[in-house]
């Protein structure tokens, strides 16, 4: 079969690409390996609970993305002011930690201020140095170093610093001093406000996106190989000849299917998600909690039922608990261990607290922004473009980005194909 544009993967990137190409009158086909399009942005029901593939929230103020979702895909959204916390030495400190020192003990505040004013301000060469130069070693030791080591599972000195400012708010001297003595009212950071579908979880967006291009999507299709010279993709069901190929499948997989080696710089952190239905409402009102404590198996957990009451029956609760490890070591996480630590930290209690547990192992969860990745990836993108191939999405282009970013990227890419 011949097609002008062949898209590999039916997650938000592949589906929005297909939609924007349809708008431009370009024929495209999406090949998706699973029986349902939507990728990691899909939601599903387990008994009476609605779970995402771990909480998926729309962190965007992009009017085009919000307009697409609300007015074209007809998904009503709640606009929600973030209530996130960091659990540091038994205290719940509002996020961002470094902007809310007021909630810490005087000793911790002293250590944080000392570290901040003693920091070297040289331009950071890696993520560890960025934390030192921006927050100081006090905040670093209390929250930033242990939390990020748990999430990324790699020496933070091997990670670049250029992706950080978008995700982690930095403070000036006035901000940090103010935060030591006064409760902050200003919302900080890229996710101070977020959006979430009123019903059905984030999968409502993915589902409507999938429906809008269902005439161009082929499900249950496994790709066997990609021949970049002949511009052919082989699947179990036959061959596809393309003029342009858009790959949104994880980059290491794409390289292997195309007979190429995967360099060491192209690495991911894996995440095991335990979605948990609770027989009673969760008693705290925050949306999610960062847990730097190295003895707890999870780095973060969130409360679906505080984000959207429709995720659990009235009077019940729903959580997502995220544990990170290198992809081949996800098997070590056990819910019994997660439960024990949730109890130890005081978040659940009683034998009957947990109604249901659903486990997901996501091998490629966070592409790691290693030093050298951007240079290698940009070269690869240029070489592939000369062969009619585009890389798109968080995993396709191996970038730490979110759903709204991949929609924006897809629109831009569709306009030049
Ligand atoms: C733990 C976690 C939490 C997250 N939280 C948020 C959040 O709160 N907000 C947010 O905006 N983003 C969040 N994200 C990121 C979000 O999941 C991604 O940005 C988004 O899913 C990217 O879409 P995608 O289409 O690029 O990839 P995916 O959603 O992974 O879609 C890729 C698709 O390709 C298919 N595929 C894979 N291999 C093949 C193959 N060989 N052949 C055919 N098809 C294949 C897959 O089945 C999948 O459907 C989170 C991610 C993780 C892991």
Per-residue pLDDT, 102: 92
Q: How far apart are CA 349 and CA 229, in angstroms?
A: 60
CATH T-level assignment (fold) for domain 2-41+202-266+369-416: FAD/NAD(P)-binding domain (3.50.50)
- Supply 159's token pair: 């990670």
Q: Which residues contact 338 (CB under 8 A, 6 or more apart)?
A: 274, 297, 298, 321, 323
Domain coordinates in residue numbering, the chain: 2-41+202-266+369-416, 98-180, 268-367
What does the CA dihedral 405, 52, 377, 239 come to, rounded to 10 degrees?
Answer: -110
How many residues does the structure list for the chain? 417
Q: Which atom of ligand 1 is nearest to the CA of 222?
A: 42
The verdict on the CB of residue 276 being under 6 Å from ligand 1 is no
Ligand 1, atom 53, lies closest to the CA of 365
Per-residue pLDDT, 168: 75
User: What separation in Å is there between the alpha carbon of 41 and the centre of ligand 1?
Assistant: 6
Q: What are the angstrom distances between the C-alpha of 371 and each of 42, 266, 409?
A: 31, 10, 23
Ligand 1, atom 40, lies closest to the CA of 33
Q: Mean pLDDT of successive 10-residue segments in the chain (417 residues)?
A: 96 98 97 96 97 95 96 97 94 92 94 93 92 94 97 97 80 82 73 92 97 97 96 95 98 98 97 98 95 97 97 97 97 97 95 96 97 97 97 97 96 95
Q: How far apart are CA 356 and CA 49, in angstroms?
A: 9
Task: Give the pairing type, strands 288-290 and 300-303.
Answer: antiparallel
- Location of structure tokens 């730490």: 400
3-state helix, strand, coil in the chain (%, to 5): 40, 25, 35
Q: How deeply is 354 buried, as exposed, middle or buried, from its count of CB atoms within 10 A (0-12, 13-18, 19+)?
A: middle
User: What separation in Å is there between the alpha carbon of 16 and the centre of ligand 1?
Assistant: 13
- Location of structure tokens 């192209």: 266
Q: Which residues contact 378 (CB under 8 A, 6 or more apart)?
A: none
Per-residue pLDDT, 280: 95
User: What separation in Å is there between the alpha carbon of 88 and the centre of ligand 1?
Assistant: 30
Ligand 1, atom 7, lies closest to the CA of 56
pLDDT digits (tens, 9 = 90+) for 232-265: 999 988 999 999 999 999 999 999 999 999 999 9
Radius of gyration of the chain from Cα atoms?
Answer: 22
The verdict on the CB of residue 281 being under 6 Å from ligand 1 is no
Query: Fold match between 2-41+202-266+369-416 and 268-367?
Result: no
Per-residue pLDDT, 190: 64
Ligand 1, atom 35, lies closest to the CA of 9
Q: Tell me the H-state helices in 76-144.
A: 106-118, 127-139
| The CATH number of the domain covering residues in 268-367 | 3.90.660.10
Q: Which residues contact 368 (CB under 8 A, 6 or more apart)?
A: 152, 154, 159, 267, 268, 269
Q: What are the angstrom distances between the C-alpha of 338 and each of 120, 163, 343, 354, 380?
A: 38, 30, 9, 12, 40
Q: How far apart are CA 247 and CA 225, in angstroms?
A: 13
Q: Which atom of ligand 1 is nearest to the CA of 9?
A: 34
Per-residue pLDDT, 186: 65
User: What separation in Å is there between the alpha carbon of 271 and the centre of ligand 1?
Assistant: 12
Give me the phi and psi of 341, to 5 degrees please.
-75, -35
Q: Which residues contact 286 (CB under 8 A, 6 or more apart)?
A: 83, 84, 85, 92, 303, 306
């Amino acid at each position: 079969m011949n097609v002008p544009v062949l898209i590999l993967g039916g997650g938000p990137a592949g589906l929005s690409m297909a939609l924007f190409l349809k708008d431009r009158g370009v024929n495209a086909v999406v090949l998706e390996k699973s029986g349902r399009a939507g990728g990691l942005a899909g939601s599903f029901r387990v008994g009476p609970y609605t779970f995402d593939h771990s909480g998926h929230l729309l962190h965007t103020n992009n009017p085009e993305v919000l307009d697409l979702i609300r007015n074209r895909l007809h998904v009503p959204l709640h606009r929600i002011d973030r209530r996130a916390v960091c659990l540091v030495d038994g205290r719940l400190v509002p996020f961002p930690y470094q902007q809310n020192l007021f909630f810490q003990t005087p000793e911790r505040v002293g250590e944080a201020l000392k570290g901040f004013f003693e920091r070297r301000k040289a331009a950071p060469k890696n993520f560890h140095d960025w934390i030192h130069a921006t927050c100081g070693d006090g905040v670093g030791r209390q929250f930033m170093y242990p939390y990020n080591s748990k999430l990324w599972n790699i020496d933070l000195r091997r990670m670049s610093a250029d992706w950080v400012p978008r995700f982690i708010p930095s403070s000036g001297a006035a901000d940090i001093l103010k935060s030591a003595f006064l409760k902050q009212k200003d919302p900080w950071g890229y996710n101070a406000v977020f959006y979430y579908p009123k019903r059905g979880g984030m999968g409502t967006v993915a589902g409507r996106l999938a429906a809008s291009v269902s005439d161009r999507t082929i499900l249950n299709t496994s790709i066997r190989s990609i021949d970049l010279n002949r511009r052919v993709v082989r699947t179990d069901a036959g061959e596809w000849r393309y003029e342009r190929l858009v790959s949104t499948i994880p980059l290491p997989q794409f390289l292997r299917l195309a007979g190429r080696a995967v360099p060491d710089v192209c690495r991911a952190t894996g995440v095991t998600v335990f979605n948990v239905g609770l027989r009673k409402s969760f008693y705290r009102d925050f949306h999610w909690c960062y847990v730097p404590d190295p003895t707890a198996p999870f780095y973060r957990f969130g409360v679906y039922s505080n984000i959207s009451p429709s995720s659990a029956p009235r009077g019940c609760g729903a959580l997502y608990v995220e544990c990170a490890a290198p992809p081949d070591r996800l098997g070590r996480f056990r819910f019994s261990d997660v439960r024990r630590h949730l109890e130890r930290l005081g978040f659940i209690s009683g034998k009957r607290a947990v109604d249901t547990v659903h486990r997901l192992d996501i091998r490629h969860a966070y592409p790691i922004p290693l030093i050298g990745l951007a240079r290698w990836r940009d070269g690869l993108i240029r070489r592939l473009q000369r062969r009619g191939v585009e890389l798109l999405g968080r995993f396709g282009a191996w970038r730490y980005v979110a759903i709204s970013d991949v929609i924006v990227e897809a629109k831009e890419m569709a306009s030049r194909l």
